């Protein structure tokens, strides 16, 4: 019996380009909702022909990773089929907020510990810069900017953990936070005493990660999330009491005199 030798298959350039862009999406270099460069700029950057790039983008579009239109090519929100229905379910159940924070505490404390071990120098620099931006927004009493810096800070921790599952799953949850699915971030950062505490907690996490202290990073992250959960729970209890008081005061016409 003759040995059967299968012919080698030469990988097409378009497939190589698609794999390269896919790897950038996987590694979080470009994220869901972000627009890629123009076809000309991208082809020059990757040093490939525009027809090969166009074919690569068609491959990625078939995989559901990018969407191409006249306006350009955008990385799809590829977790949306999971997170959008989940957001509807979570929004309708107040108890889920506590479950959400318990989940974040478990995952983010691990992420912070990993970041302390794995963060590169550019990532440490980015964390320092984000903390500086957060402190500047705090000093200027810019609630919106401080809340955005908060999201950026946690994203940098996910990235510095170099765990791709944590990165993509927690990015999806961060998008829910941006949409105030679980609670109002603006309200949270509008409370004077709470803002100071949150800033100190973010500083503690960032400094521990930058200095490479795994245990301290994880502990600081867990403490921050427990505090935030308790604060949101207190907000909700206060709101419930106000609602009861208003119902009592507006009962005219419900009870016979």
Indicate the pTM of the whole model: 0.76
Alpha-carbon distance of 23 to 26, in angstroms, equals 5
Res 89: pLDDT: 72
| 27 pLDDT above the threshold of 90 | no
Domains of the chain (ranges, CATH numbers):
13-75 (1.10.10.10), 80-234 (1.20.120.530)
Alpha-carbon distance of 79 to 102, in angstroms, equals 21
Give residue-wise pLDDT tens across range 76-123: 888 777 777 777 777 656 677 788 889 899 999 999 999 999 999 999
Res 9: pLDDT: 53
Query: Average pLDDT in the 209-221 region?
Result: 97
Res 68: pLDDT: 87
Query: Average pLDDT in the 206-223 region?
Result: 97
Q: What percent of the chain has pLDDT over 90?
A: 46
- Do residues 33 and 77 touch, judged by C-beta distance below 8 A? yes
């Amino acid at each position: 019996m003759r040995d059967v030798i299968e012919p080698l298959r030469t990988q097409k350039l378009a497939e190589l380009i698609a794999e390269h862009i896919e790897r950038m999406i996987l590694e979080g270099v470009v994220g869901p909702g972000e627009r890629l460069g123009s076809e000309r700029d991208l082809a020059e950057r990757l040093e490939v022909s525009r027809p090969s790039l166009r074919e690569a983008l068609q491959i990625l579009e078939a995989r559901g990773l990018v969407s191409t239109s006249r306006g350009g090519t955008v990385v799809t929100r590829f977790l949306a089929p999971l997170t959008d229905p989940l957001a509807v379910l979570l929004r309708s159940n107040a108890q889920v907020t506590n479950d959400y924070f318990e989940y974040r505490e478990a995952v983010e404390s691990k992420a912070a510990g990993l970041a302390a071990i794995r963060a590169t120098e550019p990532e440490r620099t980015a964390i320092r810069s984000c903390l500086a931006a957060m402190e500047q927004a705090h000093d200027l009493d810019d609630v919106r900017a401080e809340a955005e810096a908060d999201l950026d800070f946690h994203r940098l921790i996910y990235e510095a953990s170099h765990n791709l599952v944590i990165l993509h799953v927690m990015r999806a949850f961060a998008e829910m936070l941006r949409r105030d699915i679980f609670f109002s971030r603006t309200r949270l950062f509008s409370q004077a005493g709470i803002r100071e505490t949150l800033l100190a907690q973010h500083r503690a996490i960032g400094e521990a990660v930058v200095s490479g202290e795994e245990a301290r990073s994880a502990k600081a992250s867990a403490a921050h999330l427990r505090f935030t959960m308790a604060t949101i729970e207190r907000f909700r209890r206060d709101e419930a009491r106000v609602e009861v008081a208003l119902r009592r005061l507006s009962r005219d016409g419900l009870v016979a005199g």
